[in-house]
Amino acid sequence: MTTPSSASTRNPTILATPSDHELVITRTFEAPRALVWAAFTDPKHLPNWQPSNATMPVCEIDLRPGGAWHYVYRMGQGREFPVTGTYREVDPPKRFVQVMTVNGEENTSTTTFTEENGRTTVTVESRYASTASRDQAVKYAKFGTESSYTRLDTYLVSMS
């Protein structure tokens, strides 16, 4: 399955499920790679472009191989959702690989940043331990990732 999750954006977010355990999300941003990298990896930027129904009151990032990250999302009704993981690889500003455990299952995501003519394509390739975990991630990605990336488009303009 490969589908644009929104036809209304100039650069739609593309979701693909190449296997029962994989989700690939691709989006091109109208900004140079260094700026997009900073938006994804700097705790002063990351909370500013989260889904419209959430805030991120906690954003801690130790961006190095073996370093940990910890986020807390606060939903509109006040419910909090903590997320933690570690970085397996970090190659600024080209890519990072992170691992997180959800419901006892280890999931790995590789995020790459490719620049061409001042535009940056971000590709997140995630591998899930189970089809159920992948399917849950697809549901979130259809709204949460698209919402975040749409907000990131606007935020990148304010960063430059």
97 close to 112: Cβ distance less than 8 angstroms? no
Q: Within 26-145, where are the H helices?
A: 33-41, 131-140
What's the total number of domains in the chain?
A: 1
pLDDT at 65: 98
> pLDDT tens across 101-118, in order?
877 889 999 999 999 999
The answer as to whether 80 is a domain residue is yes
Q: Tell me which residue range forms the domain holding 71.
A: 32-159
12 in a structural domain: no
Residue 1 lies in a domain: no
Give the relative orientation of helices 33-41 and 146-159 as an angle to the nearest 10 degrees.
120
From residue 49, alpha-carbon distances to 27, 99, 132, 133, 144 in Å are 15, 22, 27, 24, 11
C-alpha 71/C-alpha 83 separation (Å) is 5
In a domain, 132, yes or no: yes
**CATH number of the structural domain spanning residue 43:** 3.30.530.20
Examine residue 131 and state whether it is found in any structural domain, yes or no.
yes
pLDDT band at 7 (very low <50, low <70, confident <90, very high): very low
The model carries a pTM of 0.90
On the question of pLDDT at 159 being above 70, the answer is yes
Q: In the prediction, which pLDDT does 6 show?
A: 41
Condensed to tens digits (0 to 9), the pLDDT of residues 71-105 reads 999 988 889 989 899 999 999 999 999 999 877 88
For residue 14, pLDDT beyond 90:
yes
In a domain, 27, yes or no: no
In a domain, 79, yes or no: yes
